[in-house]
Structure 1
Amino acid sequence: MDWDKATAELSKKLDPSHVKSRSQGGGSVSYVEGWHAIAEANRIFGFGEWTRETLELRQLGDPREVGGKMRVEYMARVRVTVAGVVRDGCGFGQGIDKDVGQAHESALKEAETDAMKRALMTFGNPFGLALYDKSRENVGTPEKPFDPAETRDRIKNALSKARDLAELERIWKHPATEEAFGKLHPAMQGELTKAHTDRVAFLSQAPEGTH
């Protein structure tokens, strides 16, 4: 496994579209779903590069009837190992069903999933670590990949709309323009240089008010 690539992914912000919420204790709790945590582990670490082991499952008290249904509660401890790095997490699960067997199954699954998510959370933001920061500084839509063609077209469009030479030069020499320009292929840089030169010629010759 390439830890450098994995670290880069683990450092990215948590996409808010992957954050769910539920009512709990009179308030709202944010979380990432278990299936998403597994999918992210497969994507970031790679299939077969990480393991999950349930170390402990313990029923908490006896099943009890609540509102005509049986309520069962479990705690779990799960270990996640990634390329020799070990993380443990504890979780809680509650099952409510008329069928006590179904209640046990639901509680067991929830406890294991919760413990796994807590273990994975320690690896980084994509697994929900960002949600523990009240400022939510690391929850946000990931930056779009750099698109050379889109960048070229955006700069060219801005140049074409410049109303006078002063505005044109402000756009052309703006730090953001210069930074984006430097990332483009030489051919695209040539296109923009020509677009700038052509716009200079047009604005220099066109009668005032016709720009």
Structure 2
Amino acid sequence: MDLSQESAKKIAALQSKLDKKLGPEYISQRPGPGGGPKLTYAEGWKIINLANEVFGFNGWSSNIVSLTTDFIDQNEQSQRYTVGVTAIVRVTLRDGVFHEDVGYGMLENSKSKGGALDKCKKEAVTDAIKRTLRNFGNLLGNCLYDKQYAQEVVKIKVPPVSYRELLLICTITSLFSN
């Protein structure tokens, strides 16, 4: 494939960004299933914001390839629902390059079947978007699959940002983006 020098430079710059690893400010932890070891993950909104930063808000898109309700179980005694949903999502970059991956959402012991389905669908789609974006590189979450990196990065303490600091950052960012 013949690329212009300008295109090659843009691709190299993008690849350089994507090769970097997530900083501790993007990483969260929660208890594992059944009280097992903590799981290290990045929240969906953080990864989506990062994808907007890397590719531009109009440099990528996602679409749901499939959304399947795997099961809806109702406990006869409690009248509560347990629901599982699978989503396959495609993320496409402006140049047509794309990846697809699967995500899952599950909710146990819900009072409402509709509410459980709604939550599970959103969770499955968000999970699929995150899993798909990680295919583009470390910066979009793939580095979290490196167990040694994940163990070390969570040890780095990130000071919380105050509302005043956040407002200042937003103001400065908007001044320089115009």
Q: Same fold (TM over 0.5)?
A: yes
1:203 is aligned to none
Instruction: Give the letter aligned to residue 5 of structure 1.
Output: A
Structure 2 counterpart of 1:87? 99
The Cα of 1:131 is off from its aligned counterpart by 1.0
1:98 aligns with 2:111: yes
Indicate yes or no: 2:133 matched with 1:125: no
Amino acid at match of 2:56: G
For 1:125 and 1:64, locate their aligned partners in 2 and report how far apart those are by CA, in whole Å. 40
Task: Indicate the larger mover: 67-76 or 8-17.
Answer: 67-76
Q: 1:14 and 1:76, CA in 2 relative to 1: closer, same or farther beyond 3 A?
A: same
User: In the alignment, is residue 42 of structure 1 matched against residue 52 of structure 2?
Assistant: yes
CA contact (8 A) 1:14 1:138 kept: no
* Equivalent-residue separation in structure 2 for 1:67 and 1:15 (angstroms): 44
C-alpha spacing 1:72/1:4, structure 2 compared with 1 (3 Å) = same
**Root-mean-square deviation (CA), in Å?**
2.3
Q: TM-score, normalised by structure 2?
A: 0.71
**Stretch deviating more after TM superposition (88-97 or 40-49):** 88-97
Percentage identity across aligned positions?
A: 35
Tell me the alpha carbon deviations over residues 134-164 of structure 1, each in whole angstroms, 9 at most, x when there is no partner.
22189758xxxxxxxxxxxxxxxxxxxxxxx
The letter of the residue matching 2:53 is R
How far apart are residue 5 of structure 1 and its match? 2.7
Q: Which consecutive residues of structure 1, in runs of 5 or more, have no partner in the other structure?
A: 142-211
Q: Can you give the 5+ residue segments of structure 2 that lack an aligned partner in the other structure? A: 1-6, 157-178
Q: Find out whether 1:57 has 2:67 as its counterpart.
A: yes
Q: Are 2:4 and 1:11 equivalent residues in the alignment?
A: no
1:125 to partner: Cα distance: 1.6
Q: Which has the higher contact order (CA 8 A, sep 6+)?
A: 2
Aligned counterpart, 2:82: 71
- Which 4+ stretches in 1 moved above 6 angstroms? none
Larger Rg: 1
In structure 1, the residue matched to 2:4 is: none
